[in-house]
Amino acid sequence: MSQRVKVKQILADDRTHYAVIVKGWVRSFRNNQFIAVNDGSTNNNLQAVLALDSLDASLLKRITTGAAISLSGEIIPSLGKGQRVELKVATLEILGDCDPEKYPLQLKNRPSLEYLREIAHLRFRTNTFGAIFRVRHSLAFAVHKFFNERNFVYLHTPIITASDAEGAGEMFRVSTLDPMNPPLDVDGNIDYSEDFFGRATNLTVSGQLEGELAAMAFGDIYTFGPTFRAENSNTTRHLAEFWMIEPEMAFYDLEDNMALAEAFVKSVIGYVLENNREDLDFLATRQEEEEKQKPQAERSDMGLIEKLEFVLNNEFQKLTYTEAIEILKNSKPNKNKKFSYIIEEWGADLQSEHERYLVEKHFKKPVILTDYPAAIKAFYMKQNEDGKTVRAMDILFPGIGEMVGGSQREENYEKLVKRMEEMHLPVEEMSWYLDTRRFGACPHAGFGLGFERLMLFVTGMTNIRDVIPFPRTPKSAEF
């Protein structure tokens, strides 16, 4: 098995007239002679050529789309159009049959993305999802590469936790109690002291708080793992399970945090552009074809590759939330009531349409917004001296809006406790977190980036369910 050579390697090799073993799946078989074989290493197929009458009829009938085969032979220059080399087959073995009457991925039909979501266990075998998940692999590798080169410690934060980092309340409960007949305390509430962990626990919404603990010892850490939200949102932008990248850095202020975040997103996008150009070109062509079906007003101003290079080649524009509100209030879409959410006063929570206007129409470059109103941000963000705003920052991208959210953290114990009390958070239960402010507190900062949101941007896909292998959404938890 280990002797096989991958199709990508063969197609990239300048040599000819050498022997290989190739194993993969049949994409097409024509004229009882030409097999297009693909092994997932690339979207491009290797043409394998059978000598006429070299196989008996019963074996030829088993060479069907989707069948797994093993081929041995010689790589030779191709005389046909569309490929530089081909495999002159010496031996062929069927490793796994595929019934053409039942196999749902036939070459003659181009299945829709909606249909492929219904057969998500097979969609990896299509060119679109082959490209998407090779890009996902490279993007994940680029994340680790970036932080490893900067001597960050990769921290595995817990998936089961008793804390709610965001204060959102929309969390999945983890329990071994009988849901139909749970034990009750004297007040009639569920008695979690009898549960597996002896208290109420949930699936994590963020690894940030635990990450801060480690940053107070290692200096620079990052987490990269699954997070969960029990938000009943059945949209193209929401998942119940998704992956988050969350670095935390001791001795960082907001400026340091912004600089690292900008360097990070440029680095990972640059890595994929350099190492997955074939897949990105395929996805760019696919997006271009999709765009043609849309009304002119809904089409993107930039193609996929142009959009990625736009981020790489532009220094991000920095401005405060207050400055952004003034720009938005005086903008034509706001004055003409074209925005779905009209900006009327300071303190409004910006929506994706506002963020995209700033990036795509006003500045025409990625934007970093800072110093948001404290009322619309989380409890742990450092308070500014004006008493109204916090040292938060969001990075806004074209076509998608917010890509990164972060802040300098509040290191002052008294201010943090007061803020927690104002937001009715359990100070006693969070004593472990507050210890980082009691024992050797220092300025520190961090940010979070949803990996699937980054995947949407990099691949040009429009539905978040298409950039994660097995999407978890309301009423859907297959596989």
pLDDT number for residue 93: 96
Helical ranges in 49-175 per DSSP H: 57-60, 113-118, 127-149
Distance CA 479, CA 474 (A): 15
Q: Percentage of the chain with pLDDT > 70?
A: 98
Residue type, 242: F
pLDDT single digits (tens) 396-420: 998 888 999 999 999 999 999 999 9
Distance CA 349, CA 336 (A): 20
Evaluate if residue 194 carries a pLDDT over 90: yes
Domains for the chain: give ranges and CATH numbers: 7-107 (2.40.50.140), 127-170+205-466 (3.30.930.10)
Q: Is the pTM of this model over 0.85?
A: yes
Selection from 38, 32, 45 nearest residue 83 by Cα = 45
What is the residue-averaged pLDDT of the chain? 94
Position 163 confidence tier, pLDDT thresholds 50, 70, 90: confident
Please name the residue that has the structure tokens 């495999």.
87
Q: Please compute the mean of the pLDDT values over residues 445-454 and round it to a whole number.
A: 97
Regarding predicted confidence, which is higher, 351 or 110? 351
Distance CA 257, CA 246 (A): 12
Distance of CA 369 to the CA centre of its chain: 22
Distance CA 391, CA 378 (A): 11
pLDDT single digits (tens) 208-262: 999 999 999 999 999 999 999 998 888 888 899 999 999 999 999 999 999 999 9
Evaluate if residue 167 carries a pLDDT over 60: no
| Cβ(417)–Cβ(429) below 8 Å | no
| Cβ(381)–Cβ(408) below 8 Å | yes
Position 184 confidence tier, pLDDT thresholds 50, 70, 90: very high
